[in-house]
Amino acid sequence: MAKVLGVGGVFFKTADKEALKAWYVRVLKFELTKWGGVYFPPLPMGGTVWSPFAADTEHFKPSDAPFMINLVVDDMAAMLDHVRSEGVEVLSEEAMDGMGRFAWIMDPAGAKIELWQPE
C-alpha cells in the first residue's frame, strides 16, 4: 500500500526572495544550491514533524503567517550566539524534557522560526 514517507520540502511565497535567501544564509548559515534552495540530508537526530494547529492558536505569534518553520540545529547555544550577533532578536527559549531545546526568532518576511535541538 502507498504511504507518505515524510515532508519533502517547504515552499512559500515572499515579496523579496533574494533578500530573504541572503538573510537565511547569513543568519542561519543555509548553504544554497545552484537552483537557489537548500537540500538537507537525512537528520542524524530528531525527525520531521507534521502538526496542524487550531486556527486561533497563539503559538505562531507574533507572526501573522498561518505557518511556522521548525529547523533542527546541532548546537543551540552556538546558533543563538550567532543569531544574536547578526542582530536578530531571540523571542524566547525553552527546554522540554524528552524533546530538547527550543528557541524562536522571526525572519524578515514575518515568519516565525522555531529552532530545535533534539535530545
Average pLDDT over residues 109-115: 96
Helix (H, G, I), strand (E, B) or coil at 70: strand
pLDDT given at position 84: 98
The model's confidence at residue 1, banded by pLDDT at 50, 70 and 90, is confident
Contact call for residues 117 and 75 (beta carbons, < 8 A): yes
Average pLDDT over residues 31-51: 90
Sequence letter at residue 59: H
Cell numbers at 20, concatenated:
530573504
Mean pLDDT, the chain, whole residue set: 93
pLDDT in tens, 67-107: 999 999 999 999 999 999 999 999 999 999 989 999 999 99
pLDDT given at position 2: 86
Cell numbers at 23, concatenated:
538573510
For each of the domains in the chain, give its residue range(s) and CATH number, in order of start: 46-118 (3.10.180.10)
Query: Where does residue 13 rank: exposed (0-12), middle (13-18), buried (19+ CB within 10 A)?
Result: exposed
Helix (H, G, I), strand (E, B) or coil at 51: coil
